[in-house]
Amino acid sequence: MLDTLTSNWNQILEFLKTEYDIQEIAINTWLSPLSVYSVDGNNLTLAYDDDNSMKIKYVNDKYKDFLKMAINDVVGKEFNISICSKSSLKEDISNLSSDMNNSSLVNEQKLSYSNINQKYTFDSFIVGPNNNIAQAASLAVAESPGEIYNPLFIYGGAGLGKTHLMHAIGNYIINNNPNKKVLYASSEEFTNELVSIIRNDNQNQSAINDFREKYRSVDVLLIDDIQFIIGKERTQEEFFHTFNTLFLAKKQIVISSDKPPKDMELLEERLSSRFSNGLTVDIQKPEYETRLAILTKKAEIEHLNIPKEVFNYVVENITSNVRDLEGALTKIVAFSKLSNQNITLEFSENVLSDVINPTQKTITIDLIINTVAEHFSIKKEDIVSKKKNADIAYPRQIVMYLSRILTDETYSNIAKALNRKDHSTIIHGADKIDLDIKNNPQTKDLIDIITKKINPN
């Protein structure tokens, strides 16, 4: 029976998709990674290679009954199913019956009201090691809004896919659970609406009530770039009560930011605490394979014929984020159409010459020392000297900080480059600048300027 189950596993997954209307993205995320591990009489063990308790619990709760029925239909035998990891075969999580309400019809009016961009779906989101946890958590929320990971807090740098995931959640819910009321807004939109009401209708309570009704009557609230409410006391107050109203009603809240709640120093403690109560996941910069998959997918969707060497050139040189990566490809295609020229490697290099510097040097400690010395109009020898006067010590600490964040060098190597015996001096200096950045906007601006000089891209 073990061989029968193993050989029919793909057929079982296909059966789940066609007979029980389980979405392909859900199959690929949750069920395809499972493998048949063992059979003992009527007891079947399915296992993941990785030990991910979040995934195991979710699949037990959501898909165990569907698996049981599909396996019975395909191989003609009913099993008691256990789902676990190969490294730990002791979990026996209680199975909860679930009902999925699937519908392929998209309600255009719902999409318009919800501010959801139909372009951004889970199917068009490229999953890689940099974002797989965020994608899995977002899909879980989309499948069971208000039941799991509430709030879901997604953070990461600009252009890495946070907004894409938020719209994907909205699209999935509107398509598969049309009775749910979904609303997407940036924190800036939330703030501007509130400010407009206060400025123009301060005595009109009905305008405030309408605003609150809009944001507090939904089943799913998606708020993008929450960091922009920092320092806006009235906005934070209003959002705090909106959050509480939805949370107590077990409505789903999804929030995105450029940093985790604990690092948002000026955010009110009561908001930071509530944001941290759910699940916090991050999105990192995509590695080479994911960047290549993103461009390939974009070219496929837009029916673009791009030479392989052009893909490789863009992927190797644009590493900052997904937005810049796709923007580079869009620019190449646009210039090709405008100039009526074929897309070649040479053509692409010329088009992106203002974005990609082919002679750009690898960032090294020595490059950082030279750039900082030039910025402060001092000599490189001063920075690596034993001088302790402030006009030398401060630039030296900046070198320590930038060497830590812009290179992969160890503290010991940084200390050696700066003629310091003890690497604890490097840690202290870097931490001092880090603290200054958090407390002093001028220091942050200074570091940004020097960083741009070191790495214009």
- For residue 150, being part of any structural domain is answered with yes
Asked if 153 and 250 sit in the same domain, the reply is yes
At 215 the pLDDT is: 93
**Residue 140: both structure tokens together:** 């879980």
- For residue 128, being part of any structural domain is answered with yes
- For residue 99, being part of any structural domain is answered with no
Start-end of H helices in 155-204: 162-176, 187-200
At 265 the pLDDT is: 67
Asked if 321 and 271 sit in the same domain, the reply is no
Asked if 138 and 230 sit in the same domain, the reply is yes
Distance (Å, whole) CA 184 – CA 436:
35
Asked if 411 and 381 sit in the same domain, the reply is yes
Asked if 295 and 423 sit in the same domain, the reply is no
Asked if 249 and 396 sit in the same domain, the reply is no
The DSSP letter of residue 369 is H
Asked if 232 and 300 sit in the same domain, the reply is no
Residue 419's CATH number: 1.10.1750.10
Asked if 447 and 407 sit in the same domain, the reply is yes
Start-end of H helices in 318-440: 322-339, 345-351, 365-375, 380-383, 390-406, 411-417, 423-439
Distance (Å, whole) CA 251 – CA 215:
11
Give the angle subtended at the CA of 324 by the CAs of 335 and 116, to the nearest 5°.
100
- How many domains does one find in the chain? 4
Query: What's the domain range around 274?
Result: 120-280
> Please, what is the average pLDDT of the chain?
84
**Residue 212: both structure tokens together:** 């609150």
Instruction: Say what the alpha-carbon torsion angle 443, 445, 451, 453 is, to the nearest 10 degrees.
Output: -120
Distance (Å, whole) CA 367 – CA 454:
7
At 7 the pLDDT is: 85
Asked if 183 and 320 sit in the same domain, the reply is no
Per-residue pLDDT reduced to its tens digit, 54-88:
788 888 888 888 888 889 888 887 788 888 888 76
Q: Locate tokens 């990971």: which residue?
A: 149
- Please name the residues in contact with 388: beta carbons below 8 A apart, sequence gap of 6 or more: none
Residue 318's CATH number: 1.10.8.60
At 111 the pLDDT is: 58
Q: Are 402 and 437 in contact (CB under 8 A)?
A: no
Nearest in space to 306 (alpha carbons), one of 315, 354, 320, 317 = 315
- For residue 100, being part of any structural domain is answered with no
At 361 the pLDDT is: 53
Per-residue pLDDT reduced to its tens digit, 149-170:
999 999 988 889 999 999 999 9
Asked if 267 and 136 sit in the same domain, the reply is yes
- For residue 97, being part of any structural domain is answered with no
Q: Tens-of-pLDDT digits for all 457 residues of the chain?
A: 777 888 889 989 988 888 777 888 889 888 999 988 888 767 788 988 887 787 888 888 888 888 888 898 888 877 888 888 887 654 433 332 333 333 334 455 555 668 888 889 999 898 988 899 999 999 999 999 998 899 999 998 888 999 999 999 999 999 888 889 999 998 888 888 888 887 775 556 788 888 899 999 999 999 999 888 877 888 888 899 999 999 999 999 999 998 888 877 667 788 888 888 889 999 988 888 888 999 998 888 888 889 999 998 998 888 878 888 888 998 898 888 878 889 999 999 998 887 776 555 568 898 899 999 988 889 999 999 988 898 899 999 999 999 998 887 888 889 999 998 888 889 999 999 989 998 888 889 899 889 888 876 5
The residue out of 354, 385, 401 marking a domain boundary is: 354
The DSSP letter of residue 279 is E
Known binding residues are 159, 161-163
- For residue 236, being part of any structural domain is answered with yes
Amino acid at 267: L
Q: How far is CA 330 from CA 122, 127, 295, 307, in A?
A: 22, 21, 10, 14
Asked if 141 and 276 sit in the same domain, the reply is yes
Known binding residues for ATP are 159, 161-163
Query: Please, what sign has the CA dihedral across residues 287, 438, 440, 190?
Result: positive
At 398 the pLDDT is: 95
Q: Locate tokens 């009489």: which residue?
A: 41
Distance (Å, whole) CA 197 – CA 449:
38
Asked if 369 and 325 sit in the same domain, the reply is no
- For residue 7, being part of any structural domain is answered with yes
The residue out of 227, 245, 280 marking a domain boundary is: 280
Distance (Å, whole) CA 86 – CA 37:
8
At 252 the pLDDT is: 95
Distance (Å, whole) CA 192 – CA 206:
17
Q: In what order do the strands lie in the sheet with 252-257?
A: 182-186, 220-224, 252-257, 152-156, 279-283
Distance (Å, whole) CA 254 – CA 267:
17
Residue 37's CATH number: 3.30.300.180
Do the strands 152-156 and 252-257 form a parallel or antiparallel pair, or are they unpaired? parallel
Q: Supply the pTM of this predicted model.
A: 0.60
The residue out of 264, 280, 296 marking a domain boundary is: 280
Give the angle subtended at the CA of 228 by the CAs of 244 and 429, to the nearest 5°.
115
- For residue 102, being part of any structural domain is answered with no
Residue 209's CATH number: 3.40.50.300
At 100 the pLDDT is: 31
The DSSP letter of residue 304 is -
